[in-house]
Amino acid sequence: MTKLPFHESVIPIHREGWYFALAAIAITFLLTLLNHNLGWFGAVITAWVIYFFRDPERVTPVREGLIVSPADGMVLRISPASPPAELGLDEGSWTKISVFLNIFDVHINRIPIDGKIIKSHYRSGKFLNASVDKASEDNERQSLAVETKGGVVIGFVQVAGLIARRIRCDVQEGDQVKAGQRFGLIRFGSRADIYLPQGVEPQVIVGQRMIGGETVLADLKSKEPAREGEKR
């Protein structure tokens, strides 16, 4: 079996994670001075913090028209819905794909398709459990819309969850972006909503696990109907 070079086998940590990791290490050191059992507890929490902020490389399919998942997680719901009003998109027939991220998923978010960011809007809100559908409407969120060179607009939204208390978005209106490109993260536990325009059918199913930047959600060039699936 061929072994990967060491630098390729080590998963990098997002730069924001190092602040939390260093704080956790310091707290663990203090706990160890007080009690060894507390020190072990602190070590477990420190390991989880480092694990949470992991930022692995992804291999993104780059054919024009492919829409990839903006997040790791599980497809929670696929339903007709209008994008958030702040995006200024038509309230016509859209399909919303909701991806739920638990506290063990990679929380780095990625651009779903090549294009230009035409709208970016942050809205404060509640911190309901991200697995409930009202979270899309009531929770803190960062909404974005990207327009492809062919004029197709895709909406996608970072939604804070019950534990999440900060959304980070590193792109702004006017930016040219590529599918799979990192654009932000949410900590800790959240969801990502993707809005497909009429005529674009999902190629994923409820309950399917997503890999951000890799799993194809839909294909603008495909005429395939919405997929069905079953547990096996």
Q: Give the active site residues.
A: 190
Measure the N-to-C terminal CA separation of the chain; round to a whole number of Å.
Answer: 30
Contacts of 63 (CB under 8 A, 6+ apart): none
E strand spans, the chain: 66-68, 73-80, 95-101, 108-110, 115-123, 141-147, 153-160, 166-169, 176-177, 182-187, 190-196, 209-210, 216-219
C-alpha 209, offset from chain centre: 12
Q: Which amino acid is at 83?
A: P
Helix (H, G, I), strand (E, B) or coil at 193: strand
Tokens of 98: 């909701």
Strands 209-210, 141-147: pairing is: unpaired
